[in-house]
Amino acid sequence: MDRIEVFPTAAALYHSAAEHWVRLAKAAIRRAGAFHVALAGGNTPKGLYQLLANAPYVSQVDWSGVYIYFGDERYVPMDHPESNYRMARAALLDVVPIPSEQIFRIPTELANPEAAAANYAQALQSHLPGGSQLDLILLGVGADGHTASLFPHTSILSVRDHLVAAVYVEKLDAWRISMTYPAIEQARQILFLVSGADKASIVASLLAAPEGEGKTLPAQGLQASGEVNWFLDKAAAYEWETKK
């Protein structure tokens, strides 16, 4: 069963998410000597990354034990304004002392998206515990119910035999590389971060569907093996709360 928490503001959501990250990182490093976490892209998680890079949280994490991955990436150069890696570097990775060899970005410089996906799947298999298990994956949701780059009506939704795949998103006229359902589902914990009134409608659709029935949106298609937490701010939860 997913655990849903609603926070009064986006700032409160980010502070709770930072505390959550600190707790999970401490537990993973204590348990296994490492914390393997996949970052979400887009705008929402930026506030969390910036908090983690500053007091009080920055000193609460043993960054030497943190291993960074990406749930998805746009097929653009790593210094492109649309790059999730570029966003994460500016907000967090260039600020905290994570050894560079512990940051696994999706290699969008490779000749084509499929090569980048195959290369990244290999990196996950080489570095993740058991070849596939993240301790935490951060996810956002789009207004169409996508998460990572699992967009509605795209080929990647049916990929079950690879951890990473390339996907052409027609409505964006863009290629993406994304972790697939199997990669996301194996995480010990999934944390959705959703903020803002523009997500109120999709949140209500995603969370209102009774267990098992009518789960047609990509973000509903996850058969997670671990914990699933939703951190919502009041604006994003508004329609769901009024419908409950």
Residue of 36, 105, 146, 188 interacting with ligand 6PG (CB under 6 A): 146
Centroid of chain to Cα 103: 15
Tokens of 54: 């500053």
Nearer to ligand 6PG, 147 or 180 (CB): 147
Cα–Cα distance for residue pair 153/151, rounded to 1 Å = 6
Q: Where does residue 146 rank: exposed (0-12), middle (13-18), buried (19+ CB within 10 A)?
A: buried
> Do 39 and 68 meet the contact criterion of CB atoms below 8 Å apart?
yes
User: With binding defined as CB under 6 A, does residue 207 bind ligand 6PG?
Assistant: no
Nearer to ligand 6PG, 14 or 63 (CB): 14
**First vs last C-alpha separation in the chain:** 17
**Residue span 166-205 as binding mask against ligand 6PG, x where in contact by CB under 6 A, dash where not:** ----------------------------------------
| 139, β-bridge pairs | 192
> Smallest distance from the beta carbon of 143 to ligand 6PG, in angstroms?
8
**Residue span 56-95 as binding mask against ligand 6PG, x where in contact by CB under 6 A, dash where not:** ---------------xx-----------x-----------
Residue of 5, 42, 110, 229 interacting with ligand 6PG (CB under 6 A): 42
Residues 6+ apart with CB under 8 A from 185: 222, 223, 224, 225
Q: Binding residues for ligand 6PG, how many (CB under 6 A)? A: 15
Residue 31: Cβ within 10 Å count: 10
Centroid of chain to Cα 68: 11
Q: Three-state SS string across 27-69, please?
A: HHHHHHCCEEEEECCCCCCHHHHHHHCCCCCHHHCCHHHEEEE
Residue of 18, 35, 36, 41 interacting with ligand 6PG (CB under 6 A): 41
Nearer to ligand 6PG, 98 or 191 (CB): 191
Q: Between residue 124 and residue 143, which ones bind ligand 6PG under the rule CB under 6 A?
A: 140-142
User: With binding defined as CB under 6 A, does residue 158 bind ligand 6PG?
Assistant: no
Nearer to ligand 6PG, 147 or 154 (CB): 147
Residue ranges in contact with ligand 6PG by CB under 6 A: 40-44, 71-72, 84, 140-142, 146-149
